[in-house]
Structure 1
Amino acid sequence: MTKKMILTAGPSITQKELDYVADAAQNGWNEKWNEYIKKFESAFAAYVGCKYALATSSCTGAMHLALLALGIHEEDEVIVPDLAWVATASAVKYVGAKPVLVDVLPDTWCIDPQCIKEAITEKTRAIMPVHLYGHPCEMDEIRTLAQEHGLLVIEDAAQAIGSLYKDKRPGALSDVSCFSFQGAKIMVTGEGGMLVTDDVKIFEKAKFYNDHGRDPKGSFWIQEVGFKYKMSNIQAALGLAQLERLDDLVQKKKQVYQWYHERLSTIPGIGLNVQRPYTCNNYWMSCLVLEGNFYVTRDELMKQLKEEYGIDSRTFYYPVSEFAPFEKSFITPVSHQLSSRGINLPSGYAITEENVDYIVKSIRNILKV
């Protein structure tokens, strides 16, 4: 076993981040209380290609605000992929609506447009595609379906910063989109998120609900029950520094994936992240799927990697339909198979080619390939 555990994720923090955060901590008060928040929101909107951005305390909070701003409520249905982190479906529950869980594509692991089409009813109000592990969803097909049926589209772009779909970035492909800067993401603010949109009405409504439903004129008069998913100025300082280094952060993710691909892609029965020709995958998480039959199961492989070789890993997400608070809307065989066979490999910024060599040799030893 190596002396130090090789972790699944981890950010890159340089002197730039330390300087910005120190400045916010020392000077970001009183009339400068939101100086970095404004800079971060403006720079992020420009990067994604949207007019408006609202910094939040999490992507989950941003999705809740997005649903509120769009007027999604009880009796409404929102179509969500079954294979995703629970936050997407949970946000739908927050507003009293029903998340309708559908299957994903076997190669990109993103929501299947055909399954969306089959799930649309007279109660459907919105579609929430999730760009899983960084690969963009089939947004042209999704937007066409939305237009045909008068539906809204809310991107869960939590994992997709730095990816591309044709000539646009995730986040600029829908009515409103939400990003995450949680500590395992490509760029981090500790915890944090961002809501982006081109629609000023959605933006203003989200701001309203994010300020406890307070009178926008600035008094302490409350007009509706609201919430508080605000990002601090200090977090925004960290986010701005990370955003200014984003090209480097994304490039390292691509490099790590390339190292894995060179060493694992020739092994029969092992599947890896794909990149469809009209997309650019940020490879947030380099992933392995045991598509064939091996001497050990996925869980046994992970257990041995950790206990015998000092290598951390994560399972794919569980299908949301397996959780007690959520209904099984449809049979989702692809989601279930991927969930039981998929692994997130160590993909943090600090991973070296030497680490990848060691990880792949360890996988080969365990699988006997």
Structure 2
Amino acid sequence: MVKVYLDDPNVGELEKKYLCECIDSGYVSSVGPNIGTFENRFAEYLGVKRAVSTQSGTSALHLALYELGIGPGDEVIVPVLTFIATVNPIMYVGARPVFVDVDPETWTIDPDEIEKYITPRTKAIIPVHLYGNPCDMDRIMDISRRYGIPVIEDATESLGATYKERFTGTFGVMGVFSFNGNKIITTGGGGMVVTDDEKKANHIKFLANQARDTSRGYYHPEIGFNYRMTNLEASLGLAQFERFPQFLEMKRRFAQIYTEGLRNNLNVEFQGSYPGAESSYWLFSIKLKGDKSVQEVQKLLAEKGIPTRRIFMPIVEFPMYQQYREGEYKNAYDIYKRGLNLPASTLNTEKGIEYVVKTLNEVL
């Protein structure tokens, strides 16, 4: 039986080489040349002026919200269907999350729903490019301009994805990325804030380093955070970034195999995309139709050596966020009830993905 991987990281000899060189240099902590090199290459790839590395995608989003001065009494509009890390930083700064439903076809935040929930207290909109699938950034940025509300893009799952030939994460005032172990490239942990605003980038870099004024030694003029990426992590990131074009090509090839192999299955519905959008397919995702439940299909696939994952649970299901429920969120709940993430790790081979397709067709 061919081995199949869900979202495992793809690390090898190049990563070992870069990590060993980093260890030999002695620069293993938050000081070292690879941090700046990684930031610069990342910014150059996306076509933005600055990229600031962080300890995680969560800390990147926290810093972005903090930099905009968002705090108690403010509201932040966010999709109800996302990973919990999109929402927790809103609470870190003391603001109120305002949950809206998603588009039933693309599974990303519905622009019509955004407008319904805007109030004088709305201080930011966080669109999430779910599973690598770009949001309708034309409409979202139009809303942003008309109401004067900044956009922070949660692009943590969408490195390499484009909307009308422009990379996700580059539309809003800031975009954030994650390099967790299951992402398309990894630094073990790690994240990045990207922006064209040099002043904001400099201040975020300052905040992430305990707000330390290094020109005055250990002097801290404001409250900061220990959100720095290490040189070890950046070394891993540089190796992964060299291999990123191959990883992205593989993700899209796997998506093509899934689409071609499952398109005639009446029990499968695909996650759609907006015109001009090209997903990075961090995870290839489907909705199931027919009599079998998601749990039953997962069990049958697991028996055949195929790992899968449920779609994210709507955030208002969690105890600390139930008080913020303001709607029915019918689309999000339907996607959660019937949605399934299929294996998409770049450790897979085309043969492995074809095996998943064949087995899923048999199971359904």
TM-score by length of 1: 0.94
**Which residue matches 1:239?**
237
CA-CA distance at 1:3 after TM superposition? 8.1
Write the deviation string for residues 149-198 of structure 1: whole angstroms up to 9, x where unpaired: 11111000001111111131112111011001111111111111111111
- In the superposition, relative to structure 1, how do residues 82 and 31 fare at CA in structure 2: closer, same or farther (>3 Å)? closer
How do 1:10-21 and structure 2 match up within 5 A?
A: 10-21=8-19
Which 10-residue stretch deviates more, 136-145 or 207-216? Answer: 207-216
How do 1:199-238 and structure 2 match up within 5 A?
A: 199-215=197-213, 217-238=215-236
**Please, which of 297, 300, 303 is the counterpart of residue 299 of structure 2?**
303
- In the superposition, relative to structure 1, how do residues 30 and 80 fare at CA in structure 2: closer, same or farther (>3 Å)? closer
**Which residue matches 1:315?**
310
Partner Cα distance (2:28, 2:250) in 1: 38
**Please, which of 325, 328, 331 is the counterpart of residue 328 of structure 1?**
325
How do 1:99-114 and structure 2 match up within 5 A?
A: 99-114=97-112
CA-CA distance at 1:279 after TM superposition? 1.4
Letter in 2 for 1:304: L
**Which residue matches 1:156?**
154
CA-CA distance at 1:347 after TM superposition? 0.6
How do 1:189-200 and structure 2 match up within 5 A?
A: 189-200=187-198
CA-CA distance at 1:216 after TM superposition? 5.7
**Which residue matches 1:262?**
260
Q: Give the count of matched residue pairs.
A: 362
CA-CA distance at 1:272 after TM superposition? 1.7
How do 1:166-177 and structure 2 match up within 5 A?
A: 166-177=164-175
**Please, which of 347, 355, 360 is the counterpart of residue 357 of structure 2?**
360
**Which residue matches 1:251?**
249
TM-score by length of 2: 0.95
Which 10-residue stretch deviates more, 196-205 or 109-118? Answer: 196-205
Asked whether the 8 Å contact 1:254–1:283 carries over to 2, the reply is yes
Asked whether the 8 Å contact 2:125–2:149 carries over to 1, the reply is yes
Which 10-residue stretch deviates more, 138-147 or 273-282? Answer: 273-282
Q: Identity rate of aligned residues, in percent?
A: 39
Letter in 2 for 1:309: K
Write the deviation string for residues 307-337 of structure 1: whole angstroms up to 9, x where unpaired: x212111000000111111111322110111
**Please, which of 27, 37, 40 is the counterpart of residue 39 of structure 1?**
37
CA-CA distance at 1:30 after TM superposition? 9.2
Asked whether the 8 Å contact 1:28–1:233 carries over to 2, the reply is no
Helix, strand or coil for the counterpart of 2:264? coil
Partner Cα distance (2:206, 2:319) in 1: 33
Helix, strand or coil for the counterpart of 2:151? strand
**Please, which of 266, 270, 280 is the counterpart of residue 272 of structure 1?**
270
Asked whether the 8 Å contact 2:98–2:117 carries over to 1, the reply is yes
Partner Cα distance (1:350, 1:151) in 2: 41
- In the superposition, relative to structure 1, how do residues 300 and 140 fare at CA in structure 2: closer, same or farther (>3 Å)? same
Helix, strand or coil for the counterpart of 1:19? helix
2:138 aligned with 1:140: yes
Partner Cα distance (2:29, 2:280) in 1: 38
2:360 aligned with 1:350: no
Partner Cα distance (1:94, 1:60) in 2: 10
CA-CA distance at 1:66 after TM superposition? 0.6
Partner Cα distance (2:29, 2:201) in 1: 24
2:337 aligned with 1:340: yes
Q: Which consecutive unaligned segments of at least 5 residues does structure 2 have?
A: none
Asked whether the 8 Å contact 2:176–2:192 carries over to 1, the reply is yes
Partner Cα distance (2:270, 2:258) in 1: 9
Asked whether the 8 Å contact 1:208–1:216 carries over to 2, the reply is no
Write the deviation string for residues 2-35 of structure 1: whole angstroms up to 9, x where unpaired: 485x331123224322221111111142999420
CA-CA distance at 1:229 after TM superposition? 1.2
Q: Which consecutive unaligned segments of at least 5 residues does structure 1 have?
A: none
Letter in 1 for 2:71: H
CA-CA distance at 1:75 after TM superposition? 0.5
RMSD (Å), alpha carbons: 1.7
Letter in 1 for 2:27: W
Letter in 2 for 1:201: K
**Which residue matches 1:53?**
51
Partner Cα distance (1:87, 1:191) in 2: 13
Helix, strand or coil for the counterpart of 1:203? helix
Which 10-residue stretch deviates more, 353-362 or 257-266? Answer: 353-362
Write the deviation string for residues 32-73 of structure 1: whole angstroms up to 9, x where unpaired: 942000100000011111111111110000000111111010
Asked whether the 8 Å contact 2:133–2:279 carries over to 1, the reply is yes
CA-CA distance at 1:303 after TM superposition? 1.7
